A and B are shown apart, each in its own frame.
Chain A
Amino acid sequence: MKRNYKKDFTLLALLLIPIGVAINFVGFQVAQVLRLPIFLDTIGTILVGVIAGPLVAIVAAFITNSITAIFNPIYFPYVITSMAIGLGAGLLSKYGMFRTIYKAIISGLIITAIAVIASAPITVLFFGGATGNTSSAITATFLAMGQNIWSAVFTSTIITEIADKVISVLFVYFIVKSMSDRYLSKMKYGHLYMKKSNRNK
Chain B
Amino acid sequence: MKSVLPVLTVVAAIVLFWLAAVVPMNMHLVADQAQRDGLNVSPETPVERQEVSGIGLSLRNTHLIPLTYDFVRPRLPAPQQVAGEMYATIIDKKITSKRSLVYHGWVTLAPTLLGFFIGTGLGILLAVGIVYSRVMDRSVMPWAIVSQTIPILALAPMVIVVLGSMGIQGLFPKSLIAAYLSFFPVVVGMVKGLRAPDAMQLDLLRTYNASKSQGFWSLRLPASMPYLFASLKIGIAASLIGTIVAELPTGAKAGFGARMLVGDQYGQPLVSWAALFAAALTAAALVGLFSLIERITLKRMGMQAA
- Co-complex (A, B): no
